[in-house]
Amino acid sequence: MKWIEIKSMMKTQLVNGIEVTTGAANIFADLGLQEALKPKIMTGLIVKIIKAMRSQELTQQEATKRMGITQPKVSEMMRGYFNYLSERKLMDYLTRLGYDIEIKVRSSKAEVGNMMLVAY
């Protein structure tokens, strides 16, 4: 999706005298980032990692042992610093935390397909 198409999907309205713009489904695209899907997918994977750590009641130190990374890297990831990580690495961390990863490819109704993260 192009920035112009996304911008046209955004809606501006007045709420209590304040102009509020409701964005599309992807904040990274709303900000005009060229590679808007990548940070959205990576953020979704990190959210799932954090939820996995919480549901398993893992400390950062315990999570480091399971994921095979250092505690400062876990801390950075939990604070939103993930520029040095790839989607593949995040998926590897999830498998080490006991999650299965399934990649599904299907034909698109649109001329250009889309990528999305569906996490259960």
Give the pLDDT score at 104: 84
Give the pLDDT score at 4: 42
Assess whether 87 and 114 both reside in one domain. yes
**Residue 15 structural domain:** 1-34
* Pair 117, 40: CB distance under 8 Å: yes
Assess whether 115 and 65 both reside in one domain. yes
CATH number of 42's domain: 1.10.260.40
Give 64-72's long-range contacts (Cβ < 8 A, gap of 24+).
66/96, 66/97, 67/92, 67/93, 67/96, 67/97, 68/96, 69/93
Give the pLDDT score at 2: 43
Give the pLDDT score at 62: 95
Assess whether 17 and 73 both reside in one domain. no
State whether the Cα torsion 23-27-31-33 is positive or negative: negative
Assess whether 66 and 118 both reside in one domain. yes
> What whole-number distance in Å separates Cα of residue 78 and Cα of residue 74?
6
Give the pLDDT score at 31: 61
Give the pLDDT score at 117: 75
**Cα atoms in the Cβ-side hemisphere of radius 13 Å centred on 26:** 25
Number of domains in the chain: 2
Give the pLDDT score at 18: 84
Question: For each successive 10 residues of the chain (120 residues), what is the average pLDDT?
Answer: 47 78 63 63 90 95 95 90 87 95 85 74
Assess whether 22 and 57 both reside in one domain. no
Assess whether 13 and 68 both reside in one domain. no
Assess whether 76 and 90 both reside in one domain. yes
Task: Please identify which residue in the block is written with the tokens 């593949």.
Answer: 88
Give the pLDDT score at 67: 96
